[in-house]
Each structure stands twice: as C-alpha cells, then as structure tokens.
C-alpha cells in the first residue's frame, strides 16, 4: 500500500465502512478508470475483497496482470485470496504458485507468496503438502534480503528464530515500534503455527480468526491502520475461515483426514 493515503481515498473507504458500499466502490472504479497504476489497481481490488465481491476481485486482478507491463506478486496474492474466499483453495494455490516468478516481490526476496502457500498447506493439506510449501520457504530464506520484512515471519515458521527474535526483527527502523499491521501478521502466523503443531483445535483457531478479523475495535479506527491491514491477503483468509459454519467446518475436517 502507498505510504501516502489521499483524502479522496479516505472518503471512499469512509463510505464503504459506513455501509454505503456501492457509492464507495463506484468512486474506486472512477479512480481506477482515470489511473490504472498499481496503487489504484490495488485499491479497487481490495475494495472488492472487503465488500465480499470475490468474483469481481478475481476478475479485476486477472485483467490487471494481463494488462500491466511488469508482474508483481501482490496481484497474484490478492487474486488467490479472492479464490480462497470463494471456496476454491486449489485455484488460490495455483495463483500463488504462478506468482512465484513475478518480477516484483516483497523486500525480503519474495517470501510472502511461499508463506501463503504454507498457510494453505496447514489449512487445506489435501490441496498442498506441507513438505512442498516448506521446501519453497527454505529456498527463499537463503536470500540475504530475508533480513527485511516479512523475512522474519518466514524464519519463524521454519523454526529458525523464536518468538522473541521475531518481535525484535519486526520493530520498524524509523518509528522504533511494531506497527499494528505487523503485530496482526505476527499474531496470525503464531496461530497458524499453533494449529500446525496441534496446540490449537480447528474450532479454536477459527474463533481466533473471527476475533482477529473484527475491525470494529479501536486499533483499526484510524484509516491508515485499517487500510494497512486490508493490504494483506492473510486478513481475508482469516475472515473467510472465521465465517465457515460448524457443519461446513466439520465436512472440511473430515475430508482432510
């Protein structure tokens, strides 16, 4: 997400958060129609995801990937998140795998999509094996750029660093604090690790995902913090997992045995 958030974008998101979804999304479409740069591509795509227009989000990012001259992993990431929320984890995994070769990736040398694939291997082991996801992560953490965020998350998942080191590595250089966005990401990956190690039941995990995807709490009242949260595919995965009814969850768990 762009560091600078204009008043126009804030107003659009204010409209959406107040419940005036159609007008807010319409303004995002207008901006995208005037300027199809990556920041506006992301804004409209995330707007679709937030308002649960998952098919529109997927089509939007697919079109952006076809039209944009340079490939960026976040488009693949968000496209996969849309498919995950539709209930098509195999298509999500396919999108994230395709994005591994994108020209632009995160500052840690491209660990984010492998992290999403690892999450998929924990939540839907029938779609992707844990070993395949771990091999991808192990390859990426050998890059010296792993010292940059979100490299610490990848190293934590692989048990290279502990929780204390993860938090130390997550302190931002300028502010000297861990931002709300990074705190959320740390909490999310801690939960997935606990689920993988059977320290959490699937039901307990989904309850935690519901708590974590509640943006009505004061921490997300500031527009910048709220948008920084939504610029993570993990948020939409968490919200989707929390939304699974007990019957659906039991069917899912049974299919993975």
Residue with tokens 């302190």, as numbered in its chain: 171
pLDDT at 69: 73
> What digits encode the pLDDT tens for the residues 189-207?
999 999 999 999 999 999 9
Give the pair of three-digit tokens for residue 252: 């899912």
Give the span between the Cα atoms of 83 and 109, in whole angstroms: 25
Give the span between the Cα atoms of 231 and 236, in whole angstroms: 9
pLDDT at 248: 62
- SS3 sequence of the chain: CCCCCCHHHHHHHHHHHHCCHHHHHHHHHHHHHHCCCHHHHHHHHHHHHHCCCHHHHHHHHHHHHHHCCCCEHHHHHHHHHHHHHHCCHHHHHHHHHHHHHCCECCCCCCCHHHHHHHHHHHHCCCCCCHHHHHHHHHHHCCCHHHHCCCHHHHHHHCCCCCHHHHHHHCCCCCCCCCCHHHHHHHHHHHHHHHHHCCCCCHHHHHHHHHHHCCCCCHHHCCHHHHHHHHCCHHHHHHHHHHHCCHHHHHHHHHHCC
pLDDT at 241: 97
**Blockwise average pLDDT, block size 10, the chain, 257 residues:** 42 90 95 93 97 97 88 95 98 97 92 98 97 97 96 98 97 93 98 97 96 94 94 98 77 60
DSSP secondary structure code for residue 35 in this structure:
-
pLDDT at 246: 64
pLDDT at 67: 87
Q: Hey, what domains does the chain have and what are their CATH numbers?
A: 1-74 (1.25.40.10)
């Amino acid at each position: 997400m762009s560091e600078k958030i204009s008043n126009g974008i804030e107003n659009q998101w204010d409209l959406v958060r107040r419940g005036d979804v159609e007008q807010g999304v319409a303004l995002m479409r207008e901006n995208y129609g005037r300027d199809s740069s990556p920041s506006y591509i992301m804004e409209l795509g995330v707007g679709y995801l937030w308002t649960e227009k998952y098919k529109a989000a997927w089509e939007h990012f697919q079109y952006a990937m076809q039209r944009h001259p340079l490939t960026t992993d976040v488009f693949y990431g968000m496209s996969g998140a849309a498919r995950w929320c539709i209930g098509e984890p195999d298509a999500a995994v396919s999108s994230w795998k395709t994005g591994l070769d994108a020209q632009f990736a995160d500052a840690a040398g491209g660990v984010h999509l492998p992290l999403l694939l690892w999450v998929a291997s924990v939540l839907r082991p029938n779609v992707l094996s844990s070993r395949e996801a771990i091999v991808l992560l192990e390859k990426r953490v050998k890059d010296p750029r792993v010292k940059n965020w979100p490299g610490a998350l990848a190293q934590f998942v692989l048990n290279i660093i502990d929780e204390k080191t993860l938090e130390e590595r997550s302190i931002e250089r300028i502010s000297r604090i861990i931002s709300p966005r990074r705190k959320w990401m740390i909490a999310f990956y801690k939960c997935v690790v606990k689920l993988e190690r059977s320290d959490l039941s699937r039901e307990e995990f989904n309850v935690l995902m519901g708590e974590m995807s509640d943006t009505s709490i004061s921490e997300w009242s500031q527009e910048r913090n709220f948008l920084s949260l939504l610029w993570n595919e993990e948020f939409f995965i968490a919200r989707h997992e929390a939304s699974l009814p007990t019957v659906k969850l039991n069917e899912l768990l049974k299919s993975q045995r």
